């Protein structure tokens, strides 16, 4: 049992992790979050105040970070600018948070000898061809495509260098696309669910042949906890649940599950540089650490997620208009 500092714990995956940790372990949690447009205090509502507190602050601010790291037994680092489309519009905050923010945390854990787990993405590996049977492994060379993924790749390399040069006690995980509750309505699945709720046709980029490897956020959380507890220092673990699907199929599943015709969507301008396919080989995590995902049925997980957005309009409604306004500016 210990005290975890969870950066970005008011965001989508970070808040799911905080819920997961409080439900499944005896740890206490301090969330450090800047509460950008993507952070939401309401995602932590109802959690026990004696085991979870929220500090509003910037991971790139060493004066804020240092005492929090000094008080923690381990840092789990989720905070990031996370949306590819935003990074194409304005890369600057991605450099500041993803690169300088990670550097600031690394210097703090180096000073205090604190265990560090860095959350990253499969996008650091670039993309795979649609017809290629290959999947990403820990040995795949880095080849990021977007400002977002290149800053995440940069942050991974900083972690590796701090392990090797300074002996920082860190692990890294690179996960595929998450879905589940508390995901911002700018992202693909919640955008389409909330569009359908609003009577707006879902928006498919281009032909929708692009493949993403979907994993439920709870499975990401159980994998991160496993790596935090049992992972070998200096190692990278890929996290994936064998959930490859193309975007057109996902939109059709959402429409069908919400009682609309499967073709009631609209094709919009494609994303510049749009990665074709991500696919994860998570053999190392499964064989070395014994992890297995719990959500093997994407349709069932998607149905739960749709129900969550139907039941929690008060959570997402305040962000919806601004997210759609950003898309209108980008022609999508
Ligand atoms: P998100 O955008 O929903 O949440 C990010 C959180 O970080 C927000 O609460 C935001 O307020 C906070 N934040 C941003 N800048 C900050 C700063 N400078 N200081 C402190 N807090 C700051 O993102 P997400 O989808 O939950 O992603 C979380 C992490 O997981 C990211 O590192 C991302 O790269 C990684 N990841 C995401 C996915 C996915 O499918 N969403 C998949 C693999 C990896
Ligand atoms: O692979 C992990 C990554 O997954 C994470 O590192 C990122 O933080 C996360 O945002 C996600 O990146 P993507 O770019 O894959 O996710 P997004 O939800 O933006 O889009 C998923 C797919 O859906 C992508 O191929 C683009 C497409 N799309 C997206 C939107 C918002 C659409 O077709 N229509 C849309 O309206």
Q: For residue 90, is it within any domain? A: yes
Give the pLDDT of residue 303.
98
Q: For residue 156, is it within any domain? A: yes
Instruction: Find out whether the beta carbon of 241 lies less than 6 Å from any atom of ligand 1.
Output: no
Give the pLDDT of residue 160.
98
For residue 318, the number of C-alpha atoms closer than 13 Å in the C-beta half-sphere is: 8
- The closest ligand to the CA of 213 turns out to be 2
Residue from 14, 37, 84 to probe ligand 2 pocket by mutation (most atoms less than 8 Å from CB): 84
Q: For residue 291, is it within any domain? A: no
Give the pLDDT of residue 248.
98
Count of structural domains within the chain: 1
| Ligand 1 atom, smallest distance to 37 CA | 11
- The closest ligand to the CA of 212 turns out to be 2
Residue 159: CATH number of its domain: 3.40.50.720
Q: For residue 9, is it within any domain? A: yes
| Ligand 2 atom, smallest distance to 250 CA | 23
Give the pLDDT of residue 330.
85
Q: For residue 198, is it within any domain? A: no
Instruction: Find out whether the beta carbon of 155 lies less than 6 Å from any atom of ligand 2.
Output: no
- The closest ligand to the CA of 195 turns out to be 2
Q: For residue 57, is it within any domain? A: yes
Give the pLDDT of residue 1.
66
**Which residues have a catalytic role annotated?**
122-123, 148
C-alpha span between 52 and 4 (Å, rounded): 10
Q: For residue 88, is it within any domain? A: yes
Residue 85 CA to ligand 2 centre (angstroms): 8
Instruction: Find out whether the beta carbon of 58 lies less than 6 Å from any atom of ligand 1.
Output: yes
Give the pLDDT of residue 56.
98
Q: For residue 284, is it within any domain? A: no
- pLDDT digit string (tens) for the chain, length 332 residues: 699 999 999 999 999 999 999 999 999 999 999 999 999 999 999 999 999 999 999 999 999 999 999 999 999 999 999 999 999 999 999 999 999 999 999 999 999 999 999 999 999 999 999 989 999 999 999 999 999 999 999 999 999 999 999 999 999 999 999 999 999 999 999 999 999 999 999 999 999 999 999 999 999 999 999 999 999 999 999 999 999 999 999 999 999 999 999 999 999 999 999 999 999 999 999 999 999 999 989 999 999 999 999 999 999 999 999 999 999 988 88
Instruction: Find out whether the beta carbon of 320 lies less than 6 Å from any atom of ligand 2.
Output: no
Domain hosting 155: range is: 3-179+214-239
Residue from 13, 154, 323 to probe ligand 1 pocket by mutation (most atoms less than 8 Å from CB): 13
């Amino acid at each position: 049992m210990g005290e975890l500092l969870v950066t970005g714990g008011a965001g989508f995956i970070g808040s799911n992790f905080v819920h997961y940790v409080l439900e499944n372990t005896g740890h206490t949690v301090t969330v450090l979050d800047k509460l950008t447009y993507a952070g939401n205090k309401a995602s932590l509502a109802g959690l026990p105040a004696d085991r979870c507190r929220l500090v509003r602050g910037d991971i790139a601010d060493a004066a804020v970070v240092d005492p929090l790291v000094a008080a923690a037994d381990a840092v789990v680092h989720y905070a990031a600018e996370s949306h590819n489309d935003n990074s194409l519009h304005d890369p600057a905050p991605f450099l500041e948070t993803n690169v300088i923010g990670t550097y600031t945390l690394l210097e703090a854990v180096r000073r205090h000898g604190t265990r560090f787990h860095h959350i990253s993405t499969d996008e650091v590996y670039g993309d795979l061809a649609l017809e290629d049977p290959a999947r990403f492994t820990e040995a795949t060379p880095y080849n990021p495509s977007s400002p977002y993924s290149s800053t995440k790749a940069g942050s991974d390399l900083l972690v590796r260098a701090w392990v090797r040069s300074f002996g920082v006690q860190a692990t890294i995980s690179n996960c595929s696309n998450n879905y589940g509750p508390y995901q911002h309505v700018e992202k693909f699945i919640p955008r389409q669910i909330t569009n359908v709720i609003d009577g707006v046709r879902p928006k498919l980029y281009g032909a929708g042949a692009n493949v993403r490897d979907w994993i439920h956020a709870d499975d990401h959380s159980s994998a991160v906890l496993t790596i935090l507890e049992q992972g070998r220092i200096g190692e990278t673990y890929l996290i994936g649940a064998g959930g490859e699907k193309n975007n057109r199929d996902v939109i059709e599943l959402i429409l069908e599950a919400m009682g609309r015709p499967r073709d009631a969507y609209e094709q919009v301008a494609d994303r510049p540089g749009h990665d074709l396919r991500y696919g994860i080989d998570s053999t190392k995590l499964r064989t070395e650490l014994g992890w297995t995902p719990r959500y093997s049925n994407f349709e069932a997980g998607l149905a739960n997620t749709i129900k969550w957005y139907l039941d929690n309009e008060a959570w997402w409604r305040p962000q919806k208009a601004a997210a759609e306004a950003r898309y209108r500016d980008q022609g999508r």
